[in-house]
């Protein structure tokens, strides 16, 4: 499968020289109700989902459970669970499967609504010219939207949104310019936010969530390949 054809990214006019960095990767489950009167740090420990060390410094409130370790962060609210993995962690899929899998197995009657795999990449041009990079990727000369706008101006920025069915999920890519704070300056970059989503109904087998987790590495490879197209003329 030719991945890039799935999103129709506009190829740069010339080969770019940009730094591509994975900044965040996470697994999200949306539910009608995660019962936080039951799901607390004591419950998570008793059910052997997280270890005592992993629960150190956790936050346990009536409306939120939050914990953080060297390898991951988890935030649980009544309608949403987000499990973020350190981008440098090896065996990311197995970590998600171990932690989230155990949690799902202990909540067989929870009405799940949706689940998704998410990756966020930052693309920073070596020459710092975010105008040139974003224009080369997303400007469409034939679009009426741009006819009365000075798109050659140095302060013009461009982005894009793409969506299609892919690997059994609804794939979405939201690409936009952002500004990041750094000591004594602001750095501009392109943020590529990827989402691989499935919708669920209360009658669906929770096994569908496990099937999605198994696609983690494949989804990550697709996201990486699209991002790396920026530095390629092919």
**pLDDT (tens digit per residue) in 27-72:** 999 998 898 988 989 999 999 999 999 999 899 998 999 999 999 9
Altogether, the residues listed in the chain come to a count of 234
What mean pLDDT comes out for the span 175-196?
A: 88
d(CA 125, CA 10): 17
pLDDT over 60 at 4, yes or no: no
Of 125, 117, 217, the closest CA to residue 170 belongs to 117
pLDDT over 50 at 7, yes or no: no
Question: pLDDT value at position 10?
Answer: 42
pLDDT over 90 at 187, yes or no: no
- Average the pLDDT over each of 102-111, 112-121, 187-196 and give the range with the smallest value: 102-111
211 vs 186: which has the higher pLDDT: 211
Beta pairing class for 112-125 and 185-199: antiparallel
Start-to-end CA distance of the chain, whole Å, equals 15
Determine what percent of the chain is predicted with pLDDT higher than 70.
Answer: 92
pTM: 0.89
d(CA 38, CA 35): 6
pLDDT over 70 at 112, yes or no: yes
Question: pLDDT value at position 205?
Answer: 83
Beta pairing class for 112-125 and 80-85: unpaired
Query: What rounded mean pLDDT belongs to the chain?
Result: 88
169 φ/ψ sector (left φ>0, alpha ψ -120 to 50, else beta):
beta
What mean pLDDT comes out for the span 11-29?
A: 82
pLDDT over 70 at 14, yes or no: no
Question: pLDDT value at position 202?
Answer: 78
- 196 and 215 Cβ atoms separated by less than 8 Å: yes
User: Crossing angle, helix 216-228 and helix 92-105, to 10 degrees?
Assistant: 140
């Amino acid at each position: 499968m030719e991945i890039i054809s799935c999103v129709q990214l506009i190829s740069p006019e010339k080969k770019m020289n940009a730094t591509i960095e994975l900044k965040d990767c996470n697994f999200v489950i949306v539910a009608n109700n995660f019962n936080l009167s039951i799901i607390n740090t004591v419950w998570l420990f008793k059910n052997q989902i997280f270890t005592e060390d992993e629960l150190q410094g956790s936050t346990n409130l009536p409306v939120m459970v939050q914990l953080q370790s060297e390898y991951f962060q988890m935030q649980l609210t009544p309608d949403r669970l987000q499990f973020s993995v350190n981008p440098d962690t090896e065996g990311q899929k197995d970590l998600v499967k171990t932690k989230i899998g155990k949690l799902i197995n202990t909540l067989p009657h929870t009405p799940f609504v949706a689940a998704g795999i998410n990756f966020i990449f930052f693309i920073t041009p070596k020459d710092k010219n975010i105008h040139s990079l974003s224009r080369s990727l997303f400007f469409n000369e034939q679009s009426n939207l741009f006819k009365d706008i000075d798109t050659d101006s140095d302060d013009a920025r461009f982005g894009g949104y793409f969506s299609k069915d892919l690997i059994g999920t609804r794939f979405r890519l939201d690409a936009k310019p952002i500004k990041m704070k750094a000591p004594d300056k602001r750095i501009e970059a392109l943020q590529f936010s990827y989402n691989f989503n499935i919708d669920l109904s209360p009658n669906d087998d929770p096994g569908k969530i496990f099937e999605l987790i198994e696609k983690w590495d494949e989804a990550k490879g697709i996201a990486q390949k699209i991002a790396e197209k920026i530095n390629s003329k092919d």
